[in-house]
A = this chain, B = another copy of it.
Amino acid sequence: MVERFVIQRAFAGADRPVMLAVAGDSATGKTTLTAGLAQALGPDRVTVLCADDYHRYDRVERVGLPFTPLHPDCNYIDIMEQHLQLLALGRPILKPVYDHCTGRLARPELVEPTEFVIVEGLLPLHSRRTRACFDVSVYLDPPEDVRRSWKLTRDCRDRGHTPAQVLDELQRREPESEAHVRPQRRHADIIVRFAPIAERGEDIDDPLSATLLLRPTIRHPGLHSIVESLATKAIHLKLVRDVDNRPVDALHIHAYAPREVAEQVERAIWAELVEPGPVPTALGALGDAERSEPLALTQLLLLYHLEGARTSRPTATV
């Protein structure tokens, strides 16, 4: 019995979650950034999804294929689009699972969207259809030498690779990073760059400062007046032109910004929410012991956008 009209209705799901994309190349700090957000929001409120689970081929099948996992053809992009759309509509999905240890595709798992859905991965902002699903989007853009250093450390420590293997893989992936990962930068609402400040003689092993490019594609808190009132050099806001000449606000947070200064900024940002509640704490965790003020402030700004979108404050529409 044909009741096709039901199909249309069926897609009008329950409450829609607030969706955040965290895009970036391998070892750009996606998991570090996201883990802090997830912890602050609490496990009941947030669903974290890895866009890299949509690999079309397992590690064995990829041998001899003319592309790396960074290539859209190496991923079920159409299914990722579909799943993001479903989540954005508040509907569950049966998500594929790629096991990074074994390199195999495993049994899929049910994902039911909660209040917030964070999607991190190599290509979450790849297509117009995926981008349409997000309320807020972030692109992680560390300098290449910082990323290489992070990737070497992680892949050798956690994934059992040798440094030579990692460097090889970086080289092999470079053309596809350039062709498919980096173009996503231009579609993000916020671009996050953790880097040492060369003019100060800092290097990769020093605590890193952050520069956040805040595009006027979403409504940011009134940082201009907040930062001006501080009169500190540790945190400042500057109107700049991006690489493509588009105007953008650059928020700089120095690695050595004092906690009390950062706290003032955090409180001021948070107070702009319609229903502020307590300012999130325990942000900025780098691994088990270290803490980064620039990371904490980056996370707080993202939490502001997430909570803001939830309480229908028009952060998400300009």
Contact = CB atoms under 8 A, between A and B. Distances in A.
Nearest to A88: B7
Interface band, chain A: 35 or more
A132 B3 contact: yes
A5 B6 CA distance: 20
B105 A92 contact: no
Contacts of A89: 7
Given A104-B107, A107-B107, A108-B94, A3 B128 contact: yes
Contact of A132 (B4, B86, B129, B316): B4
> What is the oligomeric copy number?
2
Interface string A1-32: 11111110011000000000000000000000
B131 A1 contact: yes
Among A2, A93, A104, A107: residue with most chain B CB under 10 A:
A2
Contact of A76 (B7, B94, B128, B133): B94
B92 A10 contact: no
B128 A2 contact: no
Nearest to A135: B2
Contacts of A79: 92-94, 110
Contacts of A108: 94, 96, 105, 108
Contacts of A93: 79, 82
A78 B92 contact: yes
Contacts of A86: 82
A205 B96 CA distance: 45
3 cross-chain pairs, A with B, having the tightest CB-CB distances, nearest first: A6-B132, A105-B107, A3-B132
A7 B189 contact: no
Interface in A105-137: 105-108, 110, 128-129, 131-135, 137
A211 interface: no
Contacts of A131: 1, 3
Contacts of A76: 94, 110
A254 interface: no
23 contacts: A1-B217, A1-B218, A2-B132, A2-B134, A2-B135, A2-B316, A2-B317, A3-B131, A4-B132, A6-B128, A7-B85, A7-B89, A7-B132, A10-B81, A11-B85, A79-B94, A79-B110, A82-B86, A82-B92, A82-B93, A96-B107, A104-B107, A105-B107
Contact of A11 (B11, B96, B110, B134): B11
Contacts of A78: 91-92
A6 B84 CA distance: 12
